[in-house]
Amino acid sequence: MNCFVAAQLARTPGEFVIASKAKHPVSLSEAKPHRFAFTALLVGSCSLAVGPWLVRLAEVGPVAAGFWRLSLALPFLWLLARTLGQPVHWPRRGLIILIAFAALFFAADLAAWHTGIHMTKLANATLFGNISSFAFAAWGLWLARRLPSPVQAAALLLAAAGAAMLMGSSAELSARHLHGDLLAMGAGLLYTGYLIAVERGRGDLAALPLLFLASLFGAAMLLPFSLLLGEQILPGNWTPVLLLALGSQVLGQGLLVYAIGALPPLVVGLALLTQPAIAAFIGWFAYRESLSPLDWIGAVAVGLALVLVRLPERGLRTPQGEAN
């Protein structure tokens, strides 16, 4: 519901100042207009929100689940890239190093997050894991070298309030969940590093080749770690891990990486906050985890924050003479 409402109401892109490779900041709408980027971002975020449930259903270890998520996605990403005219290729050395760092952050994020998912509630894992939403938004504001505008500040406060409502109702702070919560929070910080690396790489490489290489490197990192931990590698039922690869990696990450190349980090970060609301509903539906009216109020607050941050504003451009 959150994704649908925001996609229908927030169709007019605002003017946001982003850093470019040029000397001065430019308006995103002038640099890379992508009509469906915001809708793609919301659909991708909704797809990613189902991931924790599939991790629980997978009959493998948590790190192994991350390996299968990345490795099983590779042939689909390769075919999709070839079909859409973005063939996978070996980029320049500097970009390969950047993608390797992105894969390292992502692999570590999956290992920590998937382990935390088994140790805490779905709502906790998703909410703490999405600390990256605020961290990536803060990165975008730092990149633009300015404080948030009044509208952006209001959107951030509204999103924070919505997340707090979800935290206070669906999530449950207790000693029993502490280790899982800490792992999910650490995963969120690692995921921020991944998002930043992807945002840097998208200036030089199309979405699908970048995602394919990051997935390839990440899978190569996760398999030895899973074997070292003595986890079960081969699943008895391949359906959950295949759905995890298709839903979270191909569709979810594919749309997210595409959107990162077209939208400011502030918008991307706030859009990712749709995931805790969806995860809370999945936890209630599948595991009878608590879901109260406060959850719905929090979800609506996040949706309104998305609408607010997408409203057009005047005076958001930084004059070129004032650029650092």
Listing DSSP states for 240-262 in one string gives: HHHHHIIIIIIIIIHHHHHHHTT
* pLDDT-based confidence at residue 56 (cuts at 50, 70, 90): confident
Domain assignment present for 201: yes
Domain assignment present for 89: yes
Taking each helix axis as running N to C, give the angle between helix 178-201 and helix 131-144, from 0 to 180 degrees, rounded to the nearest 10: 30
Top-confidence range, 113-117, 222-226, 277-281, 290-294: 222-226
Q: How far is CA 69 from CA 53, 65, 107, 166, in A?
A: 13, 6, 11, 27
pLDDT per residue as tens digits for the range 182-231: 888 899 899 999 999 998 898 889 999 999 999 999 999 999 999 999 99
Contact 303, 167 (CB under 8 A): no
Say how far apart CA 183 and CA 52 lie, in whole Å. 14
| DSSP strands (E only) in the chain | 17-18, 26-27
H/E element, 72: none
Domain assignment present for 37: no
CA-based max dimension of the chain? 62
Number of domains, the chain: 1
Domain assignment present for 40: no
Domain assignment present for 253: yes
Q: What is the CA radius of gyration of the chain?
A: 19
What pTM does this model have? 0.76
Buried b (16+ CB within 10 A) or exposed e, 84-112: eebebeebeeebeebbbbbbbbbbbbbbb
Listing DSSP states for 76-94 in one string gives: HHHHHHHHTT-------HH
pLDDT per residue as tens digits for the range 223-274: 999 999 999 999 989 999 999 999 999 999 999 999 988 888 888 888 887 7
Domain assignment present for 31: no
Q: What is the domain extent for residue 136?
A: 49-309
pLDDT per residue as tens digits for the range 139-180: 877 877 777 788 888 888 888 888 777 666 545 555 566 787
Domain assignment present for 41: no
Domain assignment present for 198: yes
Q: How far is CA 31 from CA 20, 95, 261, in A?
A: 9, 21, 10
Q: Mean pLDDT of all residues in the chain?
A: 79
